[in-house]
Each structure stands twice: as C-alpha cells, then as structure tokens.
Amino acid sequence: MSDKAKKVPAKLLKGFRDYPPEDELTRQVLIDKTRSVFERYGYLPLQTPALEFLTTLFGADYGKENKEQIFNFIGPDEVEMGLRFDLTAPLARFVAANRELPTPFRRYQIAPVWRVDKPGPGRFREFLQFDIDIVGTSLVAADAEIIAVMAETMSCLKIENFEVRYSNRKILNGLAQFAGISPETAPDVFRVLDKLEKQGRDAVIMELGPGRTDKSGDVIPGLGFPDPQIALLEKFLDIAQAAGLSQIDNAADLLGASEMAADGFEELREIGRYLDGMGADPAKARVDLTIVRGLGYYTGPVFETYLLDLPDYGSVFSGGRYDHLVSRFSGQPMPGTGSSIGVDRLLAALLKLEALEVRKSCAEVIVTTMDKGRMADYFEMASQLRNEGFMVEVFLGNNRRIPKQLQYADRLDIPVAVICGSDEFDKGQVTIKDLVAGRGLSKDVQDRAEWLKAEDVQVTIPRGDMISHIRSLLNRNK
C-alpha cells in the first residue's frame, strides 16, 4: 500500500471540537472554582455511564421523535441505547437503583452530554455540563439552597452583575386555570411564554394569537387564542414584569381562586425567608414570575441565572424542582431539585467579560537547560522545586540557546525562569529571571550576555536562596 493510501484525514466530525491546552486550562479554572463552592455545601461527586438504555433517558413510551434527538444505537445484545443528553435522567436512574443512599442525597456531576442538534456557530453536538442536585426531600429549603449555591458560584467566578431569578411552575398552572386554558394546551402556552426574555412581549402576544413572522422571514404559527384569553394572560404579565416585591401579592390576588397558584406563591415567600437567613443579596437572587423553564418535568420552583452585562446571552445556570422523575423507575415518590451549568457556554461568557484569566501553561517555573552534560542536575533542581510545591517544567527541546528557551517560556506565560550554566554551578549560584517583568525582552535580546545585564528582571543568588526568592516573585506577581 502506498504512503498516500495510508493517510487518514485529520478532521473532526460535524458538531464536535477539540479543546487545546490553553482552552482546557482556562475551562479547568471555571470547573475548579465551581466545584469548590459545591463541596463547601456538602455536595458529593458522582459519575454515570455515557450510554444508557433509551428507556432510562426517555421513559417506557419513547418514540421515533425522541430517538432522533440523540445519538442512539442497537447494542450487541439487540438492546436500544443512547448517549445521554443530560445528567438528570441518569441521576434519577442511579437513585432508584441505590435505595440505600442516605437521603437527602446531594450530588454534583461534571460530564459531557450529546444531542443531535444542527451544528452552527457556538452550537455543538457534544458539550460539558456541571449539575448540582438534592434528591429525597420535598422541603422548599432545598430549592432555596440551590439558589444560594447558584449565586455564590457566580460571585466565586468574579462576576459582579448577575441575577438568579426564580419563580414556580405551580403559579403557571394556576395562570392556565385563570385564563381558561386546558391542561393539554398549557404546555404550548408555557413554551411561548418561555420566549419572553429573548423575543420580547409583543412577539409572545402575537404567537399566543394569530402568529408572527420572525426576523429571518420565517412564519411562526400562533396558538390561536382569542383576544379575551390573551388579555387575561397580559394582566398577569403586567404584574410579573413590574419591579418591586409587591408582584407576589398582586399576582396572588389576581390568581386567588387557584389553590395550586397559592401554594406556589407561599413557596416563593418561603424561599425568600431562607435566602435572607443565608445572607443572600436580594439584588442577586430575586423573584421573576416570567421565568418558565421549558422542560415539562419541572413541578415547583424554577430558577435561571442572567449576566446583566450580556443581556442577550440568555440563562447560564438554570434548573428547578422535579418531583416525579425518579418515580418512573421505582414507582415510589422521590422528589428532587437541582440546577445545571452549560460549562462551555458560561466559559465563553466569562471570557467576553474578562472575568477569567486565560492560562497557557500549568508551570510556574521553567528550568532552562543550556548544558546537556548537566541534565541530571537540572532534573534534581526541578525536583527540589516541586517538593516545595512549585509547578515546574524542565526545558527538553534541542535548542540550548537561553534566549530561545525564554521565548518558549514567554509563549506559555510561565512567570519565572531558572538559569544555571557551568559558571553558576561552579559557584553554587543560580540566576532567577522574572519573566512577568521581562515579558517581551526575548523578542529583542539575542545573546545570553545581554540577558544577564537586565538587572531589573533577574538576579544571581546563592543556590540556597532559590526557593525563597521564587516564592517571593510568584507572590508578587499574583
């Protein structure tokens, strides 16, 4: 076979992407900070398989439409299975299969999920989710804790202008009763109301009635409700979109005949009291009666997180209460509540806001290697630094010229370089270069002698002072 025939195209599947080290390191910063918040509240890590039975993902009555939404397969034993499209259904399966779990069961999970969406700019078929859930309690206090965790996570990520907004699906069900909308039609109404944030009120009203034409010219069919029914929904929207704490009381008065809505309003008041007790900033976590959440399995409080400096970006951390998801496996009631981050989407937002530092390397220190005969000594020096807790890379390239090695370190934003040639070894010394202060010099300086003259960014010190000097430099450059 010829060499040409053996070549394989180095290309990706549609809708998939690589994460180069720079992207992945930055993503890990987001993940680590988020995990630290979750663990402070006592949440435990869980991992579940990528492949599940289709019945696990969709329930016993799944059909062709469900299968077309995901990557599905026929296994070796002729069983239908699919790649998970979220982390909630696998959690429900895990809880149902492990009844000995202490409840309430708090868990977090970070893992990829897959959906057969049409690929496009920023839209991929594989993406990373970070979920947090409490299963096994019907107390509204659990929903309040999820909201508090969401707000604390945003603060931990150095986001200043955000809001966690919450409402209750029971109120929406009461609204449907108030407007004379049948239970069969109500999900379609909720789907339209869920567009309020993105499409605006006028578009929503048109879609509830005769329909509309979107910006691309496509016709969006309407639900065909008569004006009197739409007017009732608009009364609720007038209250829901008004500022201030009175919206709960005013909306409760409007929907007063609905016991279900009354329960929902009382749960919102209860959540508010618990958030006050947890010291949550009321400007960061507030009631928004227009919040819907599109998934049909939500049964109570629902929550969404918005970045106020990116008003068109949509929610980045969302969830709600689901009281029937586990019971489809066990037949027994097992309430739960939780929220999910689309990691890659949130990461893109944080980079736009410059809230995360882009990292190019794990290393804090690079040990340069100008003398091949001293490689064992360089490795010993690096081990000494690692034993003191530093993250250290030894330069292993073929080029022994120090400027070239420092250019390499500069490309990776490594902050400190250790330089040690035969003169330094003979004298028991080492040269430490502050690459943060000297960033850019590598482009102009051509030989080692010139580097060593740059006294403002480097110093030659006794080998015994190396650890303390590097620690001081790193602390200064934080």
Asked if the model's pLDDT at residue 450 lies above 70, the reply is no
Q: Containing domain of residue 370, as a range?
A: 365-476
Residues 340 and 428 in one domain: no
The answer to whether 179 and 309 have CB atoms below 8 angstroms apart is: no
Do 198 and 346 belong together in one domain? yes
DSSP reduced 3-state for 81: strand
Contact 395, 366 (CB under 8 A): yes
Give domain status of residue 79, yes or no.
no
pLDDT tens, position by position, 4-31: 678 899 999 999 999 999 999 999 999 9
234: in domain: yes
What is the CATH number for 249? 3.30.930.10
Which DSSP string corresponds to 219-242? EEE-----HHHHHHHHHHHHHHTS
Q: What is the pTM of this model?
A: 0.88
Window from 2-11, 90-99, 172-181, 439-448 with minimum mean pLDDT: 439-448
Residue 87's closest CA among 123, 48, 53, 51?
A: 48
Same domain, residue pair 177 and 299: yes
Q: What are the beta bridge partners of residue 303?
A: 166, 319
pLDDT at 322 exceeding the cut of 80 = yes
Do residues 396 and 340 share a domain? Answer: no
Do 333 and 404 share a domain, yes or no?
Answer: no
Last residue of a domain, one of 301, 323, 353: 353
- Reduced to 3 states, what is the DSSP secondary structure of residue 107? strand
Using the predicted structure, report yes or no on whether residue 443 has a pLDDT greater than 70.
no
261 and 181 fall within a common domain: yes
Q: What is the mean pLDDT of the chain?
A: 90
Query: Considering the domain boundaries, does residue 146 fall inside one?
Result: yes
Give pLDDT tens digits for 361-402: 999 999 999 998 999 999 999 999 999 999 999 999 999 999
309 with 419, same domain: the answer is no
- The token duo for 233 is 């929904």
For residues 93 and 109, the answer to whether their CB atoms sit within 8 Å is: no
φ/ψ of 132, rounded to 5, equals -135, 135
Q: Is residue 97 part of a domain?
A: yes
Q: Are residues 118 and 215 in the same domain?
A: yes
Final residue belonging to a domain, choices 295, 326, 353: 353
What pLDDT does residue 244 have?
Answer: 67
pLDDT in tens, 144-163: 999 999 999 999 999 999 99
Label residue 427 left, alpha or beta by phi (over 0 means left) and psi (-120 to 50 means alpha).
Answer: alpha
Domain count, the chain: 2
In a domain, 53, yes or no: no
Residue 67 lies in a domain: no
- Same domain as 383, residue 341: no
Q: What is the CATH number for 428?
A: 3.40.50.800
What pLDDT, on a 0 to 100 scale, did the predictor assign at position 166?
96
Contact (CB, 8 A) for 127 and 344:
yes
The tens digit of pLDDT for each residue in 65-78 reads 788 889 999 988 88
Cβ atoms of residues 88 and 325 within 8 Å: yes
281 vs 256, higher pLDDT: 281
Distance of alpha carbon 241 from alpha carbon 105, whole angstroms: 36
Examine residue 61 and state whether it is found in any structural domain, yes or no.
no
Write down the pLDDT at residue 327: 86
Assess whether 240 and 306 both reside in one domain: yes
Q: Quick check: 3 pLDDT over 70?
A: no
Q: Is the per-residue pLDDT at 294 higher than 80?
A: no
Report the pLDDT averaged over residues 339-357: 92
Q: Which two tokens stand for residue 413?
A: 């934003």
Complete edge-to-edge strand list for the sheet that includes strand 51-53: 51-53, 80-83, 72-74
Look at residues 327, 353, 379 and tell me which one is the last residue of a structural domain. 353
Q: What is the mean pLDDT of residues 420-448?
A: 80
Whether 8 is covered by a domain: the verdict is no
Cβ atoms of 184 and 149 closer than 8 Å: no
User: Six-digit token pair at 29?
Assistant: 């910063």
In sequence order, what are the residues at sequence separation of 6 or more whose Cβ sits closer than 8 angstroms to the Cβ of residue 412?
360, 361, 363
Could you tell me if 349 and 370 lie in one domain?
no
- Whether residue 273 sits in one domain with residue 141: yes
Compute φ and ψ for 27, nearest 5 degrees: -60, -35
Token output for 292: 């819907």
- SS3 string of 151-182? HHHHHHCCCCCEEEEEEEHHHHHHHHHHCCCC
For residues 310 and 296, is the Cβ–Cβ distance under 8 A? no
Q: How confident is the model at residue 459 (pLDDT cuts 50, 70, 90)?
A: very high
| pLDDT over 70 at 440, yes or no | no
pLDDT class for 138, splitting at 50, 70, 90? very high
